[in-house]
Amino acid sequence: MSEFKVGQSIMERCTSCYHNALKVIKVVPKEFEDKTAYVVWTQCPECGNNDHQLTQKDA
């Protein structure tokens, strides 16, 4: 599984203008009892819309 890095572009569709790539602006680790997940904050380079998604990292 690939890791997310700040500044990286990911192939996700913008929920606002439907542009097909988003830029990662922040990655926040979230610890659970049995796994680590990440909240990946993204920004659309076209319209500037901010969004976030929870991504799990399997052990």
**Contact residues for Zn ion, defined by CB under 5 A:** 14, 16-17, 19, 44, 46-47, 49
The whole-angstrom separation of Cα 44 and Cα 24 is 9
CB of 55 to Zn ion, least distance (A): 20
Quick check: 45 and 23 in contact, CB under 8 A? yes
Q: Which CB atom, from 14 or from 40, has the smaller least distance to Zn ion?
A: 14
CB of 21 to Zn ion, least distance (A): 10
Q: Which CB atom, from 12 or from 37, has the smaller least distance to Zn ion?
A: 12
Answer positive or negative: Cα dihedral of 22, 25, 31, 35: positive
